[in-house]
Structure 1
């Protein structure tokens, strides 16, 4: 389990992942050498899984975001595997999640505009295998989008 110093480092890393290590060390109250060792240990333990770039898809021209929920026809034992393999082939699918309950899977899909969305839906989404029911939710606004948790 991370100690108080590790949690301070993680808080600073979450607050400003682009900060140079010397600045992160200063903000966390440790030496740069200690910061490097602790970050390395946190990576080795799988607590830091990686550093990612967050792309603003709207700035890249993708104005439409849709969350699709699917219930699969589970009479075929390969339903999940077939569906997931096919969904991975759709370039505009940015996220695939599986669930327990009345919804089996959720896809996040981005599109440049409504015409592009309709093309993706007709040409790719409707062809996904083993779908017994689906529901679409179009994103209107994002109120909170954060991986931060009190550490």
Structure 2
């Protein structure tokens, strides 16, 4: 699927996505035209899905992160659909993951402080539909957070 040139290009792109095409081509050891064509091909194949701005929510005053493990009432036929639709509407929910096993859903929730978290928890999380069990894990430290893939 990927040849050595694609891998070299992706490594350089991951290391510094702000490089111009000319700078990226130079670092990857290819011509600018080749770099452009390969980037276009990687995008067309869905390998590169675009670029995004990463905003540090802590810099905006959010200090609390909680991971909520949710078990849904699976006797309700629309439990997953209803829950996920409602959870998407909570602005403080940054991530929603679904699982197979005891835990059905994990929500990553942020808040400015504990008082704000308690308000979000009581008014928006506990009112989500079809919850049969809820477990909160208070985030203490992020040991590794890396989006760089070993290409």
Post-superposition shift, 1:74? 0.4
Post-superposition shift, 1:62? 0.6
Counterpart position of 2:66: 66
Alpha-carbon distance in 1 for matches of 2:20, 2:64:
34
Q: Give the 5 Å matches for 1:132-151.
A: 132-151=132-151
RMSD: 0.8
TM-score normalized by structure 2?
A: 0.97
Q: Give the 5 Å matches for 1:22-41.
A: 22-41=22-41
Alpha-carbon distance in 2 for matches of 1:27, 1:130:
52
Structure 2 runs not aligned, ≥5 long: none
Alpha-carbon distance in 1 for matches of 2:35, 2:3:
13
Question: Structure 1 residue 106 and structure 2 residue 67: aligned?
Answer: no
Partner-residue secondary structure (3-state), 2:59: coil
Post-superposition shift, 1:13? 0.9
Which 4+ runs in 1 deviate beyond 3 A?
none
**What do residues 33-88 of structure 1 show as CA deviations (whole Å, max 9, x unaligned)?**
11110000000000111211111110111111111110100001100000000001
Alpha-carbon distance in 2 for matches of 1:149, 1:2:
13
Counterpart position of 2:90: 90
Post-superposition shift, 1:111? 0.6
Post-superposition shift, 1:130? 0.5
Post-superposition shift, 1:90? 0.3
Post-superposition shift, 1:138? 1.2
Structure 1 runs not aligned, ≥5 long: none
Alpha-carbon distance in 2 for matches of 1:138, 1:130:
23
Alpha-carbon distance in 1 for matches of 2:63, 2:150:
32
